[in-house]
């Protein structure tokens, strides 16, 4: 049986690169055999039950196995960056900082975020580091980490690998980005995205089948978001509406509601922001829709569809969320 955690023949994710990361080779995610991250700090603009008043303790990892053309974290997620320097000390240069971290150091980072009163530890795009991340989480737990661990992912993952997170992750926040294989092929080079992501999300829901909030309830009061309890366990599936692709959004929402009903929360996002790698490059010429934001009409259409399906466990975004100012500084803060 294949060992999905063997970095000398990396098949950790559906890209199936087969590279020897231990010998310095890099595959699609662009990362080797050492954890690299760019920021660990409190973040306030996640869903209210994740950020709360204190902020979510977000750790932004470098690299990504999906690699969407429009990624908002492109500065640190873009692949094949082996020519760029990484940093093993607190040196900071212009541009994104990529800090190398041992599993022990990463465990200390988690504990430091807890000391800063973070509501949770929020692992942002860590899947390609799973074999190194798991010892970090285990060590942090042994040394006093008690706040929930949130696993924030593109969902382009193998269920077999995710199984190793059972008992270590309290809240999963997977994306379900695309349904149409042509769309996921065009925007992320992954025609199999939907089937892979759907299988990964199924595993996450198996591990956390029912939401639990800090007031002991299993749901949120839809009328009152001023004093939301915090999520302690569960799954929040995010879908960001893409400009010009509301039909794909409808298919995704229908699938999720038919599959999971109210056992998961859905977060329907309108924050798509055209980034420089789209605006200032041939990508924008090939995919002109990526150069604009989602219109109010498009977003309203998707929300109306969600309501018509009967979705009640959901989060929507208010106007004004489209802004690059939501993208944090990848400057090595907290590492
Ligand atoms: S984790 Fe990275 S190297 Fe390994 S299979 Fe996925 S993309 Fe390839």
Q: Which residue has the tokens 């692709």?
A: 245
Give pLDDT tens digits for 13-64. Answer: 999 999 999 999 999 999 999 999 999 999 998 999 999 989 999 999 999 9
Q: How far is the CA of 290 from the centre of ligand 1 (A)?
A: 26
Mean pLDDT of the chain: 91
- Domain total of the chain: 1
Q: Inform me whether the pLDDT recorded for 85 exceeds 60.
A: no
Q: Give the structural domain span for 81.
A: 36-326
Is 313 contained in some domain?
yes
- Supply 20's token pair: 């020897």
Q: What is the pLDDT of residue 91?
A: 39
Cβ 193 vs Cβ 246: under 8 Å: no
Pocket lined around ligand 1, Cβ cut-off 6 Å: 10-13, 15-17, 19, 27-29, 65, 128
Give pLDDT tens digits for 316-333. Answer: 987 655 555 567 888 899
Give pLDDT tens digits for 155-194. Answer: 999 999 999 999 999 999 999 999 999 999 999 999 999 9
Give pLDDT tens digits for 27-38. Answer: 999 999 999 999
Q: How far is the CA of 272 from the centre of ligand 1 (A)?
A: 26
- 3-class SS letters over 88-144: CCCCCCCCCCCEEECHHHHHHHHHHHHHCCCCCEEEECCHHHHHHHHHHHHHHHHCC
Is 333 contained in some domain?
no
pTM of the model: 0.93
Q: How far is the CA of 14 from the centre of ligand 1 (A)?
A: 8
- The helices-and-strands tally (H runs, E runs) of the chain is 11, 10
| Strand ranges, E, within the chain | 35-43, 56-61, 99-101, 121-124, 149-153, 171-174, 212-213, 231-240, 265-269, 314-316
Cβ 50 vs Cβ 106: under 8 Å: no
CATH code of residue 60: 3.20.20.70
Is 15 contained in some domain?
no
Q: Which of 156, 99, 110, 160 is nearest to 133 (CA)?
A: 110
Is 93 contained in some domain?
yes
Alpha-carbon gap, residue 173 to 267, rounded angstroms: 9
Using pLDDT thresholds of 50, 70 and 90, give the confidence band for residue 281. Answer: confident
Buried b (16+ CB within 10 A) or exposed e, 295-304: eeebbeebbe
Task: Look at ligand 1, atom 3, and give the residue with the nearest C-alpha.
Answer: 27
Specify the long-range contacts of residues 92-96, CB closer than 8 Å, at least 24 apart. Answer: 92/331, 92/332, 96/38, 96/330, 96/331
Q: What is the pLDDT of residue 218?
A: 85
What is the position in ligand 1's atom list of the atom closest to the CA of 10? 4
Q: What is the pLDDT of residue 321?
A: 58
What is the position in ligand 1's atom list of the atom closest to the CA of 11? 5
Q: What is the pLDDT of residue 45?
A: 85
Task: Look at ligand 1, atom 1, and give the residue with the nearest C-alpha.
Answer: 128
């Amino acid at each position: 049986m294949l060992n999905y955690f063997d970095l000398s023949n990396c098949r950790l994710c559906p890209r199936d690169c087969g590279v020897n990361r231990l010998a310095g080779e890099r595959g699609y995610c662009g990362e080797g055999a050492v954890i690299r991250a760019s920021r660990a700090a409190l973040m306030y603009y996640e869903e209210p039950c994740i950020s709360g008043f204190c902020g979510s303790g977000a750790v932004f990892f470098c690299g990504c196995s999906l690699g969407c053309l429009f990624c908002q974290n492109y500065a640190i997620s873009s692949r094949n960056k082996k020519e760029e320097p990484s940093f093993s000390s607190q040196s900071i240069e212009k541009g994104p900082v990529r800090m190398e971290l041992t599993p022990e150091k990463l465990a200390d980072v988690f504990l430091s975020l807890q000391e800063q009163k973070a509501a949770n530890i929020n692992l942002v795009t860590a899947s390609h580091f799973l074999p190194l991340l798991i010892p970090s989480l285990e060590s942090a737990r042994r040394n006093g980490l008690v706040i929930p661990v949130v696993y924030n992912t593109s969902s382009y993952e193998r269920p077999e690998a995710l199984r190793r997170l059972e008992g270590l992750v309290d809240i999963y926040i997977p994306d379900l980005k695309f349904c149409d294989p042509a769309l996921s092929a065009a925007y992320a080079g992954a025609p199999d995205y939907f089937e892979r992501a759907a299988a990964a999300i199924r595993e996450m829901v198996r591990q956390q089948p029912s939401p639990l909030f800090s007031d002991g309830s299993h749901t949120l009061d839809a009328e009152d978001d001023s004093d939301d309890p915090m999520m302690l366990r569960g799954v929040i599936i995010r879908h960001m509406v893409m400009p010009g692709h509301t039909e794909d959004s409808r298919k995704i929402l229908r699938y999720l509601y038919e599959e999971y009903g109210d056992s998961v929360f859905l977060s329907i996002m309108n924050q798509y922001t055209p980034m420089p790698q789209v605006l200032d490059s041939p990508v924008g010429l090939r995919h002109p829709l990526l150069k604009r934001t989602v219109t109010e009409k498009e977003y309203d259409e998707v929300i109306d569809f969600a309501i018509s399906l009967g979705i009640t466990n959901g989060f929507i975004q208010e106007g004004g969320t489209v802004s690059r100012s939501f993208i944090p500084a990848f400057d090595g803060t907290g590492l």
